[in-house]
Amino acid sequence: MAKVKSKWICQECGYETAGYLGKCPECGSWGSLVEEVQVSATKPQQTSVHDEFINTEKPELLKDIHIGEEVRVSTNISEFDRILGGGLVQGSLVLIAGDPGIGKSTILLQTSGELCKNNKKVLYVSAEESASQLKLRAQRLSINSDSLYVYPQTSMESIKSQIEEIMPDVVVIDSIQAIYSQNIASSAGSVSQIRECTNLLMHIAKSKNITVIVIGHVTKEGNIAGPKVLEHMVDTVIYFEGDKYKSYRMLRSMKNRFGNTSEVGIFEMHTDGLHEVKNPNELFLNERSQVAAPGSAIIVTNEGTRPLLVEIQALVGTTPYPTPRRVTNGVDTSRVLQILAVLEKRVGLNLSKQDVYVNVMGGIDVSEPSADLGIALAVATCARDVVVDPQTVIIGEIGLSGEIHPVNNIEKRLNEAVMSGFKKAIVPFANKIEDKRIEIVPVKRLMDAIAACVSAQ
C-alpha cells in the first residue's frame, strides 16, 4: 500500500517544507510555496525509474579514452555553432530559455531541418503545439525532411519509449514546463516535475549518447522558471534575448561545459525565419545619423570574443523638478550615476540641476566597463554643446579619480573599428599601440579625453 503525504515546495527556488509559509526562507519570495502531493510505495521490491540506466562499465584512464571524429555535430548555422563552441556535442543536454514569442521554437525547428540535411535523425517533441500547427511553421520556414520526426506529447514515459524506438541523434523538447512524469503527483511545470523530467532526460542523453535540447520558460524577472538545480544539471545554458520592437535576436551563452561562455550569436527575424547577421555592426550602426550632433559617441564593446560597435546617445537639459532625473536605457543606471559623479568632481561639470538621459541605440544592453569613457564623453559633449567626430571610436574604463583604465582585446576592437571605416580612436594610455591604419589618441585622464574631443572641432 502506498503512503500519501504532501510537501510545500517553493516554485522559485525549490525549497521544501512540511507546512505552509507565506515567505520562502531560501529566496525570500512571497506566496511561492505550493502544496504538492507525493506518493511513496512501501513495497521493498519496487525499483527506481533510473535503475535501467545503471551500467557495469568500469573506470578508465584518461589517456586511454578515445574521442571520435563525430563528437561535435555542426548545425550548419554558424552563429549557433559559435554559441555552442563549435557545434552540438553528442550526449550533451542543452537548455535554451527566453521570453514568449522571442523565437525559441523557430530557431530549434530551423536547426532540426539543418541537422537532417547532415543525415541526422531528429525527434521534435512538441508539448505545446499540435502536429498540424508545427507543420504550418515548418512550411513557413521551408523545412521538409524525411528524417525529422514530430511527436506532440506531454508524458515523459511516452517520450522515453519513442526515443528508445526511434533512437534519434538529437531530441528537442518544447518545452520542459509542459512535460510531466506519472511518477510525480504534482502538475506539469511544478518544481518536482521539472526536476524529475530533466533528470530523466539527462540519463537518456548520457547513457544513449543522444543530444537533448530543452526549451525553458522564463519568469517575469527574466530568470529561468523552475528550480535553480535545472541550470546545474544541464551542460549548456543559452539565453535567447531581443527587443520586441526590434527585428534582431541574440543568443547568449551563460554556461558551457564544452566551449567559451559569454559568447553571443546575432540573428534577424524575417517572415521566413531567423537569418544570421554576418556583420552585426551594420545592424547597430545603420540608423546612425550622418550629421554630427552633441551627445553622440561610438564605443567598441566586447560580447564574448566578438567586438561590437554601438552608438551611445546622451541628452542633458535643465530640469523643471526639484530633483533631476537620471534615465538610462541599455546601460546600468548605477554605473551612469558613478560616471556623473566623476564628471562633477573631477571635471567640474555641474549636473546637479540637469536631467540626464543615456540611451544605447539598437536596443542592445551594454554591461562592459569599457563603455564608461563613451558614456562620459556623450554626456560632457551634450552639456557643453560640442560634437564628437563621427569617425572616432571611444574605448576606456573610468576610475573614481578620473583616471582611464586599460581594457582587454584592444587589437580586436581597433581592427573592427578599421573594418567599419573609422579613422580615429581614443584609447587608454596603457593600451597605446602602433597602428598605421587608424589614428590612436592615448589618454590618461578623463580631462584629456574631453580635451581631445574639443580640440578636434
pLDDT in tens, 408-438: 999 999 999 999 889 999 999 999 998 889 9
With 0.95 as the threshold, say if the pTM is over it: no
In the numeric block, which cell numbers belong to residue 401? 579619480
Question: How are beta strands 354-360 and 326-329 bridged, if at all?
Answer: parallel
How far apart, in Å, are the Cα atoms of 190 and each of 10, 180, 220?
9, 9, 16
Q: Please, what is the average pLDDT of the chain?
A: 87
Among 174, 113, 170, smallest CA distance to 146 is for 113
How far apart, in Å, are the Cα atoms of 131 and each of 63, 150, 402?
47, 7, 61
**Residue 399 burial class via C-beta count within 10 angstroms: exposed 0-12, middle 13-18, buried 19 and up:** middle
Alpha-helix residue ranges (DSSP H) falling in 274-370: 280-285, 333-342
In the numeric block, which cell numbers belong to residue 185? 503527483
At 446 the pLDDT is 95
At 43 the pLDDT is 47
Q: What residues have CB less than 8 Å from 455, skipping those under 6 apart? A: none
Q: Are 75 and 43 in contact (CB under 8 A)?
A: no
Q: Are 314 and 356 in contact (CB under 8 A)?
A: yes
Task: Give mean pLDDT, residues 173-191.
Answer: 88
Segment 245-303, tens digit of pLDDT: 677 888 989 899 988 887 888 898 898 999 998 888 877 776 565 667 899 999 999 88
- Of the pLDDT bands very low, low, confident and very high (cuts 50, 70, 90), residue 327 is very high
In Å, how far from its chain's centre is CA 102? Answer: 12
Residue 44 pLDDT more than 60? Answer: no
Residue that the C-alpha cell 560640442 belongs to: 386
